[in-house]
Each structure stands twice: as C-alpha cells, then as structure tokens.
C-alpha cells in the first residue's frame, strides 16, 4: 500500500514535470491544421515539420555555434572559477566580500548591461564573433560556478592537505592527486549548469550575433512573425535543441545527488 | 500557418516559376535582366522578419544574387524583438544591415539612418529618378506615403502590407432564418456592418450559449459575435486606430503652418473620439470569446476558423488565407471579406530600406527595385502574399471567384486604400519620430482599457500624459 | 606539524591566494565594473542612444520614485518571489523526502525530474501560452472532458500572475529538489539512528534534526532564488508580455531600456532594483556564512 502510494506520487511528479515538454514533441508531429482543433489528441502524426526544418530552414550552423560557445565558455568558466573557488574556500580570500560581489553579478539586469557591452564590442570588433559571446557567457556563468565550487572545496578538510604536505608533496601535486578527485562531482554538476545555461541563453545571443555566431536559441525564436507563428516547425526545432542538454544531463545525472550540496552539509 | 499553407499548395509552383520560366513582361517592364552591371560587389546583408514571410523572400534574394553577382545574406528576426535589434544596429551605426525591414510607422524615427531612394536612383540608375518612379508608381500611394518621411522623402519600397479588413461568416449572414431573426430584433437588414453600432448589434446577436441554435442547428459549444485582439501586443493599437480614424479623429492631430507640419495637438474632438473608441472596444469585448484579453491575431483567427466566432471586425489581410479555411473546418461555413467600418483601417506595410551605413547602397537600391517591381510583386501575390502593388491587385483575374483563399482579401483592401489615401498624411503614425516608442505605450494603454483595468476616461488621460512625455523626449516636433 | 613547514605553507599561501583569484578579479573588473559604472553615469543623463548624453541630475531617480508603474512592478515581483520560494521550498522538500530512498529505476526518475531545467525558458513561454490557452490548450481540453469549466490561466488579470508563478515553479522546482535531496543524502546517519532508538516520531525528527541541519542549504536556495527571481523575465516573453497585471520589474526595465532605449531612465530603474537585491542578498549571505560556519 505504502509503495503503491509512493509510486503514485513519483508518477504524478514525473507527469507534471515532463508533460509540457512531451507536448512540444506532440505539437512537432502535428500538421498546421491540427494545431488549433477541438480535440488536441486526435490528429494524424506527420514528419512534415522536421522535413521543413531540414529542407527550408536548416539550423546546423546554429547548432554547431551553440555547441562551440557552450563548451568554450564552460571551459573558460572552469579555468577561472576553479582556482578562485579554491582560494575562497581555503584562504577565505577577501573575507567573503569578493565572493559576494562575484555572486551578485547575476543581480544586474542583463538588458541594461547589454547596451554598454554592445557599444564596447562594436568598437573592439567583437560583435557577431564567437569570442564575444564566450566572454559574455563566461561573465554570467562565472558567479554561480564559483559559488557552487566554493562549497565543494569547503567540504575537503584542510587537515587532509596539511597531512599530504607533511608527506612532502608540493601544492600542485596535492591539488591534482588529492583535491581534484574529491571535487569531481562538483565539477560535473557545475559543468552541466554552465552548458545548459549557455545553450539556452537568448538575449545576448540575439543582440550580439547576426549570422556568423548565431545560436540555436535565436533560431528557435525565428518562427514568430508578424502575421504567423509556425507552431509546428518551432516545436520541432525545440525538440531537437533540447536533445544535447538532455544528453548532458543524463551523463551528469549520477553526480547530481552528490553534487548540489554547496558544502553546506557535512556527512 | 498562412505561409506554410501557401507554401504547400502554391508555393512550390511559385518556386518553380521563379526558377524555370522567363519573367513575364509587365507594366513597368522592369525585371532582373534590366539591372545594369553592379560595380560594387561587396556582399549585402538583409534583415528579415521571422516566420514564413522570410521563406518567401529568400528565393528572390538568391535570384538577385545569382544574376548580379552580389552575394546576399539574410537574417530573420522574431517579430517581438525585431524593432529593438534594428534600432541597436542602426543607432549603433554598425552598418551590419545593408537593407533593414521597416514597419511603416518606424519610418520617421529611422530617417536619419536611411537613404533617400530618389538620391540613390539618381546616383545609380541610368534612368535616374524616373526609373524608380516607374516601379513605385504601381504601389498604392497611401503605402508610399507611409514609407516616406513626413517631408515626403521616400526611404523604402513597401513589399508586404497588413491592411486590416473585416472577415465574416458569409453563410451566417446569408442564412434566411438568421436574417429574419436579426431584422425582427433590430429593425434593419443583416449585412456587413457599415456603422459601429451595427457591428455591436451583430456581435450581440450572434453571441449564443451552448444549446441555443445557430443557422437552425443546435450549438454544442458557446458561440461569440466577434474575435478581438486585446492582448498586450501591438495589434490592440491597430484596432483602436481603425476606430478612431473611422470617425476622422486622431491619436494626436497635426498642426500645420503654411502647409508645413510644425507639431501635434490632441484636440477636444480627438478626446471625444478616443473616449468613444475606448468605450466601443470595451463594449465589443463583451461579445468576444474568453481568452481575447490575451489574444493576438493567431488565437483571434483560430477562434474564427474553428467556428467559434461570427466576425473578425479588424484583421490583417495577410490572415485572410488562413481565416478563409473555415470552409474546410466547419461544415457549410464560408468566409467573406469586407471593408472595415468606416474604411479607415490600420494600414501598414513592411518596407525594405537601405541603411546609410551600408557598404553597398548600389546593390541595396537594385534589390529594392527588384522586389518592388510589378513582375516580382505579381509572382508574390499569386503565391498568396499580401503584396503592395495596386496595379497587380487590380488585375482582372484577382477575384474571389478565381481564387477564394488567395485573393479574397483584395477587393476590400483596394477599396480602403482609395478611401484612406488622402488621410494618411495626417496620421500621427507616419509623422512622429517617436512612433516606435509611442506604439509600445499605445499597446499598453489599449490593452489596459480592453481588459477593464482602466475606464475610457482613465485610458485617455494615460495616453495624453504618455504622449506628451514620449513625444517630448524622443520626437522632434513639439506637442502643442 | 613542524614550525618550518607550517611557515612555508603560509608564506606560499599569501601569494597563492591572490594568484588563484586573479583571473576572476580581472574578469569582474572588466565585465562587472564597466557596465555598472556606465549605467551609474547614464542614470544621471537623458541619453537615449542618440546624440550626446546631457547631465540632468537626479531627474531619472525622481521619476523612478514617483512612477506608480515601477512600484506596482516591484510589488508584483516581490509577490512572485515570495510565492515561488515558498512553494519551491515546501514542495521541493516534500519531493526530496520522497526521493530520498533507494528504489528501482531511481536514476531514470531523477533524470526525468531534471527536464524542466533543460528547456529554453523563452521558447517554453510561447509553448505555455499554447498549452494553457483557454480554448485551444490541451489542459483545458482535458478539464472540459472531466466536466469542468475552462480555466482562464493566461487571460484574466486575477489569474495571469499566478500562472506565471506556476510556470516559474515548474521550471525551477527541480533545482530545489536536487539541492535538498543532496542535503538529505549527506546528513550524518548516527544522529538519526540515535533519535530512532529514542523512539522519536518521524515528524519530530524532521523538525528537530533534519531541518536545522539543512538550514544552510535552505538559505542558499533562498539566496540564489531571490537573486534570480528579482530578474524574472522569460515566462512573460511569449505569454502576457506584461499585460493582465503581470508586468514584473525586469520586464519593465527591458521595456524602458530596450524598446524605448531610454538608457538614462532604464539605468536608474536597474540600479534601484540592484540596490534592493544587493541589500537583501547581503543579509542572506551573512546568515549563510554564519550558518555554514556555525557547525
């Protein structure tokens, strides 16, 4: 009985979480005439929306751009955030002030920051370049990544490092051999969030790119015109665009449970 | 929906026509082949509006590129944010877009960033300004005025129009039983409305509950009089403008000295008419289906197509194609288009305009001339496109009888253009340099009014305040 | 530990800690200070991204303070913020407790729970408009078959904002669930075993033991969510676009800065919002550090 109740609760939760996304897939299989109808479940599935995407509006370049940008910005974020988070956690650098400032970068409205960046990027030629977007994504993913990693480094007892130091290891060996393996789950989960957020980011991508560095999230918006919304193709592209994040999430899934502790609870 | 449908049926044929047949000899005679050697081979980049509209334009860009040897690239942008992106690029003077897609009400705002077409013609066209004139002559004069600044400088070629028309269920209006019932109740014949009160009567008359009858058949769902677009989208402004203009009023009237525009003022007559329009809108909302409070053209038209409303009193002609498919969705139904009440609908167009920061205005000019030419417009219109060339639209084959779905919108559109052309010069939309901003504010005010958040008097007050502030801050001409 | 190696360690560290943090600080200087200073400067001008900025003193701030639309948007944002956090914490805790056990297929269940975090919030907002539409939405179709009246989720002022809350919670609930679940998994077992031997009821254990131990995590969730929710924007894009009494602070700032291009005024709004968030954030952060160190 209890287990029945448990599975009912789990089933309900999963249903609520995935139904809207499932509905995107259903919509992607609908012909235009079936988008607005009295019975949303009654239609004959068709692949014409995917066909349209491939033959009329291919978005391979955009997919590739998103991939490049997400991966590159995540790598840069890690290069910056990992050492910084270690410094915050081990040496309490800046006594919390710098850490707080880092976290607060996400508080400033993006649109307001976007315009000075636009003017700056125009003068240094970074508009519509991959580098420009990588820098911007690094900037806004950095804060959360540092905070998350900070928690993981906190979890590692300082004594462990001292002991290793007494054994004659130098600092880099300690970091590589002792600290790094311990925070692997943290790196995994941080990477995942950075990847997902860069992948889905719209405003900067829309404003700072034209065609060279255009991303898939911008492509997803191009089905909304002044006298027509192409629901089917839009849903179809959403279906495709969510797949890489799904894969990323699947790979990282086992770390998630270990991962999001922020070092705030010690077992 | 619209273009996908078009693309499926006629689009393929059209694409084939572009690819394999020689362009038809047309009135202005201008075709791709007439473009002289373009010396500047620098690539040009065109900003496009998102959706199926881009699909229809892109083949022409490619064709142009093949013939002239100038590489053309394009970028389509979501409708909701296209204005912002283009403003950033234009005002940031990046030169990223050689040709910008411009809503007619943005013309005055962007005039500092756009080329005068006449100047370009004199510079690049062997026939000079006359060469340009021959092409644009076919285009409706009202639309041309909208694509010009208030000083009459043409900066763009309108290629796609959204003139509002009224779409109604012909089968309901023609039903003997309904006609008799209507006459008995209101004392006059049921016919497409020519006065707003008639529209209100019809809206009320056709609003029925589930279980009541329509055309003698018992309804299995609620039925409503009118489809409205009261969501906080630009369209609620368009509906209100049609009401205000129909009575000769303005959001703000022009002030002229010796024929020259020197400012704007909201007259007492404007106030009275605006209050009336705000009230009328609220009245109509009583007979609109639930959900209209957040609706735009998509859901409004869908309500009609699915057989839930009798009339869309104000809808863009580009949606006729989809709206007319009510005939396939609802047994016995048929749509018809009529001029909107007062024949002064919100009329606008997207025009292509060459940016002053373009590195290749020469190619931009020829592209514009090509897109606006009779032959191109003819192909587009025959592909289901709401083209701007009145000469094409007046063609004897462009009738409801020859193609109900593709041409049904044409007769009322032409009728309204003729009626409205003399008034266009007085509309705030095509004179104020702050209109991109005013539009946003009108959207908010119109939406708040439609949902009853503000009463008509408050809506008017909000508009007067906002207009004074925005025109003062972003416009060039004063409020008097 | 010998005195020499200890000294060596610390000598190293003083340089080390700044070396490690260097790239971050450089990045912060370039990417945070620049737009903030730019906005601060512009907030005293009438710049509209055209012509030159003119100094107009405190006019923009005066306008912010007297603008009822701003205060209404702020009020709505706080309303959404409070409800979202309250729901995400309570329901999130419930679901975390539910998932905090070993069961067959747990990996798949957790993976599926992650999905809302993955989809693009902006595209999703347009999808929500469709799914929740009163006439053509699948939710109302199903409700209709169950004999219920259609619900105007996104088409009446009294409901629209709550629907926005629902959409936001839907997207972000997994975040709270996973943070709390991670916390539950990491709790020290011995204390719980002791409590069980004492015969304490599970409700008592939860309130006396579990909750206090999870306090730092709860503060973290609140802190992060406050920061993100103050800037809530995406769910409005394809749904109401600020209509039907749903205009939130960030939407308003978007409108002023990115439709009106009133850079001066937009900056004033933004900085005002930033101050509020900073104060609340700093208070929470202090609590957090206290809670984390207080063990």
In SS3 terms, C82-127 reads as HHHHHHHHHHHHHHHHHHCCCCCCHHHHHHHHCHHHHCCHHHHHHH
Look at A224 and B80 and tell me if their CB atoms are within 8 Å.
Answer: yes
Chain centroid, CA C282 distance in Å: 15
Mean pLDDT to the nearest integer, A68-93: 91
Helix (H, G, I), strand (E, B) or coil at A104: helix
How far away is chain C from the Cα of B360, in angstroms, using its nearest Cα? Answer: 24
Look at B76 and A222 and tell me if their CB atoms are within 8 Å.
Answer: yes
Rounded-to-integer distance, Cα C229 and Cα C167, Å: 13
For C54-73, write each residue's pLDDT tens digit.
Answer: 999 899 999 989 999 999 99
DSSP output for B340-362? PGGG-----EEEEEEBTT-S-HH
Mean pLDDT to the nearest integer, A207-211: 91
CB B361 within 8 A of CB B168: no
- Among residues B128, B31, B47, B38, the alpha carbon closest in space to that of B354 is found at B47
Contacts of A254 in chain C (CB under 8 A): 107
For residue B14, is pLDDT > 60? no
Rounded-to-integer distance, Cα B216 and Cα B178, Å: 8
- Among residues A12, A41, A8, the alpha carbon closest in space to that of A27 is found at A41
Task: Supply the Cα-derived Rg of chain A in whole angstroms.
Answer: 23
Chain centroid, CA B10 distance in Å: 22
Cβ atoms < 10 Å from Cβ of B394: 12
Rounded-to-integer distance, Cα C31 and Cα C165, Å: 31
- Among residues B120, B82, B126, B74, the alpha carbon closest in space to that of B102 is found at B82
For residue A1, is pLDDT > 80? no
Chain centroid, CA B1 distance in Å: 17
Q: Which residue has the tokens 């890489």?
A: A244
Inter-chain CB pairs, B–C, below 8 Å: 80
Chains adjacent to B (≥3 CB pairs closer than 8 angstroms):
A, C
Helix (H, G, I), strand (E, B) or coil at C45: strand
**Pick from A136, A162, A241: which is nearest to C120 by CB?**
A241
- Among residues A29, A38, A40, A55, the alpha carbon closest in space to that of A232 is found at A29
For B103-130, write each residue's pLDDT tens digit.
Answer: 999 999 999 999 999 999 999 999 999 9
The predicted pLDDT at position A247 comes to 87
Strand pairing category for B224-226 and B309-316 = parallel
The predicted pLDDT at position B22 comes to 40
Look at B91 and C152 and tell me if their CB atoms are within 8 Å.
Answer: no
For A125-184, write each residue's pLDDT tens digit.
Answer: 999 999 999 999 999 899 999 988 888 888 888 888 888 888 878 777 888 888 888 888
**Burial B437-471, CB ≥16 within 10 A → b, else e:** bbbbbbbbbbbbbbbebbebeebbebbbebbeebb
Most B-contacting residue of A35, A225, A234, A238 (CB-CB within 10 A), to test interface? A225
Q: How confident is the model at residue B400 (pLDDT cuts 50, 70, 90)?
A: confident
Look at A224 and B50 and tell me if their CB atoms are within 8 Å.
Answer: yes
For B55, B60, B239, C82, C201, the CA distances from A55, given in Å and listed in that order, are 11, 17, 37, 47, 64
CB A96 within 8 A of CB A160: no
CB B296 within 8 A of CB B229: yes
How far away is chain C from the Cα of B250, in angstroms, using its nearest Cα? Answer: 22
Q: Which residue has the tokens 């975390």?
A: C96
Q: How confident is the model at residue C5 (pLDDT cuts 50, 70, 90)?
A: low
Query: Lowest mean pLDDT: which of A186-190, B280-284, B328-332?
Result: A186-190
* End-to-end Cα, chain B, rounded Å: 45
Cβ atoms < 10 Å from Cβ of A91: 17
How far away is chain C from the Cα of B65, in angstroms, using its nearest Cα? Answer: 33
Handedness of CA A64, A65, A69, A70 (dihedral sign): negative
Mean pLDDT to the nearest integer, A100-115: 86
Most C-contacting residue of A35, A250, A251, A265 (CB-CB within 10 A), to test interface? A265
Nearest-5° angle of CA C115, CA C118, CA C122?
120
Q: Which residue has the tokens 């609340």?
A: C280
The predicted pLDDT at position B130 comes to 93
Strand pairing category for B224-226 and B335-338 = unpaired
For A193, B118, B373, the CA distances from B122, given in Å and listed in that order, are 57, 6, 18
Nearest-5° angle of CA C233, CA C234, CA C238?
120
Q: Which residue has the tokens 């304490």?
A: C200
Mean pLDDT to the nearest integer, C90-96: 95
Tokens of C76: 């709505």
Q: How confident is the model at residue C12 (pLDDT cuts 50, 70, 90)?
A: low
For residue B11, is pLDDT > 70? no
- Among residues C231, C264, C249, C262, the alpha carbon closest in space to that of C38 is found at C264
Tokens of C50: 């055209």
How far away is chain C from the Cα of A194, in angstroms, using its nearest Cα? Answer: 11
Contacts of A33 in chain B (CB under 8 A): 325, 328-329
> Exposed, middle or buried: residue A71 (CB in 10 Å: 0-12, 13-18, 19+)?
middle
Chains adjacent to C (≥3 CB pairs closer than 8 angstroms):
A, B
Contacts of A8 in chain C (CB under 8 A): none
Mean pLDDT to the nearest integer, B227-249: 96
Look at A222 and B51 and tell me if their CB atoms are within 8 Å.
Answer: yes
Most C-contacting residue of A260, A263, A266, A267 (CB-CB within 10 A), to test interface? A260
Contacts of B440 in chain C (CB under 8 A): 255, 259-260
For chain A, the 3-state helix, strand and coil shares in percent, each to the nearest 5, are 75, 0, 20
| Phi, psi dihedrals of residue B60, rounded to the nearest 5° | -70, -35
How many alpha carbons fall within 13 Å on the CB side of residue A48?
A: 15
Interacting residues of A189 by C-beta distance below 8 A, sequence separation 6+: A148, A252, A255, A256, A259, A260
Q: Which residue has the tokens 């970068």?
A: A105
The predicted pLDDT at position A264 comes to 64
Tokens of C179: 């943070």
Chain B: residue whose CA lies nearest to A111: B84
**Burial B243-255, CB ≥16 within 10 A → b, else e:** bbbbbebbbbbbb
How far away is chain B from the Cα of C223, in angstroms, using its nearest Cα? Answer: 31
Handedness of CA A75, A76, A77, A82 (dihedral sign): positive
For C218-259, write each residue's pLDDT tens digit.
Answer: 988 998 999 899 999 999 999 999 999 999 999 999 999 999
**Pick from C98, C187, C228: which is nearest to A265 by CB?**
C187
Chain A: residue whose CA lies nearest to C218: A264
Query: Lowest mean pLDDT: which of B49-63, B259-273, C4-18, C130-144?
Result: C4-18
Q: How confident is the model at residue B13 (pLDDT cuts 50, 70, 90)?
A: very low
Task: Supply the Cα-derived Rg of chain C in whole angstroms.
Answer: 24
**Pick from B7, B49, B85: which is nearest to A225 by CB?**
B49
Q: Which residue has the tokens 């701030």?
A: C61
Look at C130 and A27 and tell me if their CB atoms are within 8 Å.
Answer: yes
pLDDT mean across residues, chain C:
88
Rounded-to-integer distance, Cα C209 and Cα C92, Å: 18
For C54, C55, C249, C276, the CA distances from C271, given in Å and listed in that order, are 19, 17, 12, 9
For B27-79, write each residue's pLDDT tens digit.
Answer: 568 889 899 999 999 999 999 998 878 888 999 999 999 999 999 999 999 98
Rounded-to-integer distance, Cα C207 and Cα C204, Å: 5
For B145-166, write each residue's pLDDT tens digit.
Answer: 999 999 999 999 999 999 999 9
Contacts of C160 in chain B (CB under 8 A): 294
Q: ipTM for the complex?
A: 0.90
For C274-290, write each residue's pLDDT tens digit.
Answer: 998 889 888 888 888 88
C255–chain B Cβ distance below 8 A for any pair: yes
Chains adjacent to A (≥3 CB pairs closer than 8 angstroms):
B, C
Q: Which residue has the tokens 């702020």?
A: C74
Which helix (H) or strand (E) is B44 found in, with range?
Answer: strand B44-49
Query: Lowest mean pLDDT: which of B34-48, B457-471, C101-115?
Result: C101-115
Query: Lowest mean pLDDT: which of A95-104, B438-447, C83-92?
Result: A95-104
The predicted pLDDT at position A257 comes to 66
Rounded-to-integer distance, Cα B366 and Cα B120, Å: 9
């Amino acid at each position: 009985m209890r287990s029945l109740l448990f599975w009912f609760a789990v089933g309900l939760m999963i249903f609520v979480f995935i139904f809207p996304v499932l509905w995107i897939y259903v919509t992607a299989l609908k012909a235009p005439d079936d988008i607005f109808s009295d019975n949303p479940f009654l239609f004959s599935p068709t692949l014409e929306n995917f066909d349209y995407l491939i033959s009329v509006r291919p978005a391979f370049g955009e997919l590739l751009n998103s991939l490049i940008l997400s991966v590159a910005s995540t790598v840069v974020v890690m290069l910056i955030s990992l050492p910084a988070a270690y410094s915050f956690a081990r040496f309490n650098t800046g006594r919390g002030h710098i850490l707080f400032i880092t976290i607060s970068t996400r508080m400033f409205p993006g649109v307001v920051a976007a315009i000075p960046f636009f003017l700056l990027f125009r003068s240094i030629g970074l508009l519509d370049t991959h580098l420009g977007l990588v820098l911007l994504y690094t900037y806004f993913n950095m804060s959360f990544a540092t905070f998350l990693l900070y928690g993981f480094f906190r979890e590692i007892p300082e004594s462990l490092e001292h002991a290793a130091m007494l054994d004659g290891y130098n600092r880099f060996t300690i970091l590589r051999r002792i600290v790094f393996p311990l925070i692997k789950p943290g790196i995994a989960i941080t990477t995942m969030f950075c990847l997902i957020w860069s992948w889905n980011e719209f405003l900067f991508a829309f404003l700072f790119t034209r065609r060279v560095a255009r991303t898939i999230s911008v492509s997803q918006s191009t089905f909304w015109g002044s006298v027509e919304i192409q629901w089917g193709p839009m849903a179809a592209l959403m279906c495709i665009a969510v797949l890489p994040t799904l894969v990323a999430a699947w790979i990282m899934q086992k770390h998630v449970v270990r991962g999001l502790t922020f070092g705030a609870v010690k077992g | 929906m619209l273009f996908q449908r078009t693309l499926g049926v006629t689009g393929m044929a059209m694409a084939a026509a572009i690819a394999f047949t020689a362009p038809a000899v047309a009135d202005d005679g201008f075709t791709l082949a007439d473009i002289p050697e373009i010396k500047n081979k620098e690539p040009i980049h065109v900003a496009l509006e998102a959706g199926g509209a881009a699909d229809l334009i892109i083949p022409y860009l490619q064709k142009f590129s093949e013939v002239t040897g100038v590489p053309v690239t394009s970028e389509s942008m979501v409708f909701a944010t296209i204005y912002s992106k283009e403003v950033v690029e234009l005002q940031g003077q990046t030169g990223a877009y050689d040709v910008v897609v411009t809503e007619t009400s943005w013309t005055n705002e962007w005039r500092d960033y756009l080329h005068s077409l006449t100047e370009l013609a004199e510079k690049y066209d062997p026939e000079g300004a006359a060469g340009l004139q021959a092409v644009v002559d076919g285009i409706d004069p009202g639309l041309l005025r909208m694509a010009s600044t208030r000083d009459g400088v043409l900066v763009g070629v309108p290629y796609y129009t959204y003139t509002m028309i009224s779409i109604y269920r012909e089968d309901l209006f023609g039903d003997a039983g309904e006609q008799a019932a209507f006459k008995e109740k209101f004392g006059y014949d049921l016919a497409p409305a020519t006065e707003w009160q008639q529209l209100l009567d019809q809206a009320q008359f056709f609003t029925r509950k589930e279980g009541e009858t329509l055309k003698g058949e018992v309804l299995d769902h609620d039925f409503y009089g009118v489809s409205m677009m009261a969501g906080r989208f630009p369209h609620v402004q368009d509906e209100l403008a049609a009401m205000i203009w129909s009575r000769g009023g303005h959001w703000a009237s022009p002030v002229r000295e010796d024929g020259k525009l020197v400012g704007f003022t909201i007259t007492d007559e404007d106030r009275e008419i605006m209050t009336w329009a705000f009230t009328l809108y609220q009245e109509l909302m009583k007979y609109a289906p639930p959900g209209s409070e957040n609706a735009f053209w998509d859901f409004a038209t869908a309500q009609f197509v699915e057989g839930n409303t009798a009339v869309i009193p104000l809808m863009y002609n580009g949606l006729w194609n989809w709206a007319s498919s009510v005939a396939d969705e609802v047994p016995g139904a048929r749509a018809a288009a009529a001029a909107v009440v007062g024949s002064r609908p919100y009329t606008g167009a997207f025009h292509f305009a060459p940016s002053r920061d373009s590195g290749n205005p020469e190619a931009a000019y020829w592209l514009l001339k090509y897109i606006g030419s009779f032959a191109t417009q003819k192909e587009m219109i025959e592909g289901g496109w709401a083209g701007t060339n009145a000469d094409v639209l007046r063609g004897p084959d462009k009738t409801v009888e020859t193609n109900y779905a593709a041409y049904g919108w044409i007769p009322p559109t032409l009728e309204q253009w003729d009626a409205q052309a003399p008034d266009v010069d007085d509309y705030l939309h095509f004179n104020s340099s702050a209109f991109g901003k005013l539009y946003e504010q009108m959207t908010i005010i119109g939406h708040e009014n439609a949902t009853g958040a503000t009463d008509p008097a408050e809506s008017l007050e909000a508009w007067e305040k906002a207009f004074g502030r925005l025109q003062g801050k972003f416009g060039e001409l004063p409020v008097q | 530990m010998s005195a020499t190696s200890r000294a060596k360690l610390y000598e190293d560290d003083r340089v080390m800690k700044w070396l490690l943090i260097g790239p971050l600080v450089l990045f912060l200087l370039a990417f945070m200070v620049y737009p903030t200073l730019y906005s601060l400067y512009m907030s005293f001008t009438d710049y509209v991204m055209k012509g030159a900025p003119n100094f107009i003193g405190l006019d923009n701030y005066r306008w912010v303070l007297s603008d009822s639309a701003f205060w209404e948007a702020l009020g709505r944002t706080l309303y959404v913020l409070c409800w979202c956090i309250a729901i995400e914490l309570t329901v999130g805790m419930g679901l975390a407790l539910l998932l905090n056990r070993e069961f067959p297929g747990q990996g798949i269940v957790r993976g599926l729970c992650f999905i809302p975090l993955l989809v693009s919030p902006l595209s999703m907002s347009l999808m929500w408009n469709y799914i929740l539409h009163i006439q053509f939405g699948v939710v109302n179709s199903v409700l209709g078959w169950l004999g219920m009246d259609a619900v105007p989720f996104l088409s009446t002022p009294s409901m629209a904002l709550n629907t926005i809350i629902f959409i936001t919670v839907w997207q972000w609930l997994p975040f709270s669930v996973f943070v709390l679940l991670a916390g539950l998994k990491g709790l020290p077992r011995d204390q719980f075993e002791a409590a069980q031997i004492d015969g304490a009821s599970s409700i008592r254990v939860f309130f006396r033991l579990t909750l206090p131990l999870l306090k730092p995590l709860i503060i973290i969730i609140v802190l992060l969510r406050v920061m993100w929710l103050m800037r809530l924007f995406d769910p409005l894009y394809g749904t109401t676009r600020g209509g039907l009494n749903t205009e939130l602070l960030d939407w308003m700032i978007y409108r002023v800065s990115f439709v009106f291009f009133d850079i001066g005024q937009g900056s004033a709004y933004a900085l005002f919002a930033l101050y509020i968030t900073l104060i609340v954030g700093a208070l929470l952060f202090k609590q957090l550090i206290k809670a984390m160190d207080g063990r």
